């Protein structure tokens, strides 16, 4: 099956895909701010440059898009019909990178949490989850 866009238009569409400051990330930041949490964004000195870092709690939070990171929900399980092999490999590499990053952060003493895009639909449940994460006391700090 061929692409519905020509190469130039497809390139323009893909350039619009953001790496940081995405909708799910902004939602997560808004909820954390409501809970009174103080955080830093995209710290480059940590493995994987986590989306949100709460240094005082030794907590990092990644806001993952279901499609891009291969979540097991309906959106994450969808595979494009065009260039199928490429997308399966791409998502596989993303998942492997995520696992390596989480392991490196855990080894450095950080708590790692992933919030999936589909979890953002239920803000009450997400707020409760974030409040529970913030309530955990980090040993040694």
| Residue 27 and residue 116 in contact, taking contact as beta carbons nearer than 8 Å | no
Q: Please give the pLDDT value at position 82.
A: 84
CA–CA separation, 99 and 106 (whole Å): 11
pLDDT of 18 reads 67
Quote the pLDDT of residue 140.
Answer: 62
Would you state the pLDDT for residue 88? Answer: 92
DSSP state of 29: H
Sign of CA dihedral 52, 55, 57, 59: positive
CB 91 within 8 A of CB 69: yes
Residue 1: what pLDDT? 52
d(CA 86, CA 49): 25
Total number of residues shown for the chain: 141
In the chain, where the domains are located? 7-135
Q: Chunked in runs of 10, what are the mean pLDDT values of the chain (141 residues)?
A: 77 75 86 94 93 94 91 86 89 95 96 94 94 82 58
Give residue 76's pLDDT.
81
CATH 3.40.960.10 fits 7-135, yes or no: yes
């Amino acid at each position: 099956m061929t692409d519905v866009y020509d190469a130039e238009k497809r390139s323009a569409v893909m350039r619009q895909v953001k790496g940081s400051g995405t909708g799910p990330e902004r939602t997560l930041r808004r909820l954390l701010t409501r809970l009174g949490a103080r955080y830093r964004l995209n710290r480059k000195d940590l493995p994987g440059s986590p989306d949100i870092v709460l240094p005082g709690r030794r907590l990092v939070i990644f806001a993952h898009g279901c499609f891009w990171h291969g979540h097991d929900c309906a959106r994450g399980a969808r595979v494009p019909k065009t260039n199928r092999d490429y997308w399966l490999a791409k998502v596989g590499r993303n998942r492997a990178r995520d696992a390596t990053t989480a392991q490196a952060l855990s080894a450095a003493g950080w708590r790692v949490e992933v919030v999936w895009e589909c979890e953002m639909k239920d803000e009450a449940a997400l707020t409760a989850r974030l409040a529970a994460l913030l309530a955990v006391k980090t040993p040694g700090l």
